[in-house]
């Protein structure tokens, strides 16, 4: 069960969609999430009727540790998606897609977690493509591929290559250990590979049949693979090494690498800046959130304070209200010891509890002695307001329980 108790207001955004939030935030949230009804319609056009009657979203306080939680009929969502320009609502498309992949057809065990998330990422991108166009979906897919590459490299380097499989073995472990970009993005890439093999129309028919046939049931990976073999692989004469995708480690060689023309143009501007063009002279007009994220991710690994200041003066990264852009910028700021961003870093880590943002920033901080001291000081103040899920993660990262008197830091 999921309970939300508080002073909540409601705004309708469609015949069967609406937003709950605290009274001071509900109008802002309703404006930001105005496309919810369109998303439900797009999802139904793809894979069949929405079977839960209503789809509402509850915007929670900043301490909520996840982007969203797909409770049937009422998604719990982080307020960090309220960017003021409707640019981060792909998260709502993701949680809505869980109404089919996750709530309608559910993973039977945590080892089969990819059945929820891989399908949902695929579905999310199809919803977004239908509403916002191919460029939007391609940018989403490319950023996801970058995340997958990073996670696979990290896990492999830490001796956790087994966790890069889709079908996991979490025996004796916290199921939360299985929650990584692998389930999401490698799962998506597998489905994208199948779509490429048989064509979109045939793959859509397969998925529609899958959701109808297994509606309101729980499924193991092996049950899905049997269904896949019978209804897609054999009839379509598909030549995809399914076992390698599901049980193998790493990134399969036949992965369909997403390509974004918009990101190619971003990379041109990164190179121009690297060669000496000032930030203010770069061609960035009309860039979306995704283009800015790609830009910051592809800046040189090592930058001087004057270089960071040039970027910050032109684009006001440190002062942005967009949490996704801010998070990647703050990570680069830590990596390059850009002191002017540290006050915002402290404020962000103290006011936001979403683990997606917390973990990379604390990980970046603890790579140096100075950063570790900063992390411990910030965490001592922030920890009482974090959710227990985030506390468990950051406690382990900082060896918090081994500290003799952490509260006095």
How far the first Cα of the chain sits from its last, in Å, is 37
- Map tokens 């996801």 to a residue: 144
Annotation marks residue 95 as catalytic: yes
H helix runs in 133-260, sequence order: 134-157, 181, 187-198, 200-213, 221-228, 234-236, 242-247
Considering only CA atoms, which of 250, 244, 253 is closest in space to residue 225? 244
- 311/294 Cα distance (integer angstroms): 14
Mention every residue, 6+ apart, whose C-beta is less than 8 A from residue 106: 115, 116, 217, 218, 219
- 29/88 Cα distance (integer angstroms): 12
Q: Are 211 and 231 in contact (CB under 8 A)?
A: no
Catalytic residue among 70, 95, 129, 195: 95
- 323/393 Cα distance (integer angstroms): 20
Annotation marks residue 269 as catalytic: no
Catalytic residue among 136, 184, 188, 386: 184
- Token readout for 140 is 């989403």
Q: Are 79 and 60 in contact (CB under 8 A)?
A: yes
How many CB atoms are located within 10 Å of the residue 141 CB?
24
Partnered with residue 101 across adjacent β-strands are: 105
- 43/48 Cα distance (integer angstroms): 7
Q: Are 21 and 9 in contact (CB under 8 A)?
A: yes
- 51/385 Cα distance (integer angstroms): 36
- 334/343 Cα distance (integer angstroms): 12
Catalytic residue numbers, as ranges: 95, 184
């Amino acid at each position: 069960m999921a309970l939300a108790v508080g002073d909540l207001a409601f705004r309708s955004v469609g015949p069967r969609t609406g937003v709950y939030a605290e009274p001071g935030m509900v109008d802002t949230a309703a404006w930001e999430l105005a496309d919810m009804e369109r998303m439900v319609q797009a999802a139904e056009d793809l894979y069949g009727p929405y079977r839960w009657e209503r789809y509402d979203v509850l915007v929670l306080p900043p301490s909520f540790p996840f982007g969203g939680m797909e409770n049937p009929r009422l998604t719990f969502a982080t307020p960090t998606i309220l960017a003021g320009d409707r640019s981060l609502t792909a998260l709502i498309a993701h949680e809505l897609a869980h109404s089919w992949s996750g709530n309608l057809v559910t993973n039977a065990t945590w080892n089969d977690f990819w059945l929820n998330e891989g399908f949902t990422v695929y579905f999310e991108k199809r919803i977004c493509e239908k509403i916002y166009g191919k460029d939007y979906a391609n940018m989403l897919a490319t950023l996801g591929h970058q995340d997958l590459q990073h996670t696979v490299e990290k896990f492999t380097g830490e001796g956790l290559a087994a966790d890069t499989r889709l079908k996991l073995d979490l025996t004796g472990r916290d199921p939360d250990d299985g929650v990584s970009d692998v389930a999401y993005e490698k799962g998506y890439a597998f489905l994208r590979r199948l779509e490429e093999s048989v064509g979109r129309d045939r793959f859509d028919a397969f998925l529609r049949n899958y959701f109808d046939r297994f509606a309101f049931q729980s499924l193991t990976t092996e049950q899905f693979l049997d269904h896949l073999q019978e209804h897609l692989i054999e009839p379509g004469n598909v030549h995809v090494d399914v076992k390698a995708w599901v049980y193998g480690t790493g990134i399969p060689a036949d992965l369909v690498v997403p390509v974004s023309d918009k990101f190619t143009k971003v990379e041109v501007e990164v190179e121009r800046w690297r060669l000496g063009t000032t930030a203010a002279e770069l061609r960035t007009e009309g860039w979306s959130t995704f283009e800015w994220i790609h830009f910051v991710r592809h800046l040189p690994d090592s930058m001087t304070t004057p270089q960071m200041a040039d970027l910050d003066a032109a684009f006001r990264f440190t002062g942005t209200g967009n949490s996704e852009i801010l998070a990647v910028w703050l990570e680069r700021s830590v990596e390059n010891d850009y002191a002017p961003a540290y006050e915002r870093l402290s404020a962000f880590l103290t006011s936001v509890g979403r683990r997606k943002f917390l973990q990379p920033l604390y990980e970046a901080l603890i790579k140096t002695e100075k950063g570790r001291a900063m992390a411990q000081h910030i965490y001592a103040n922030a920890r009482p307001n974090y959710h227990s899920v985030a506390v468990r993660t950051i406690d382990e990262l900082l060896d918090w329980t081994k500290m003799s008197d952490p509260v006095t830091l």
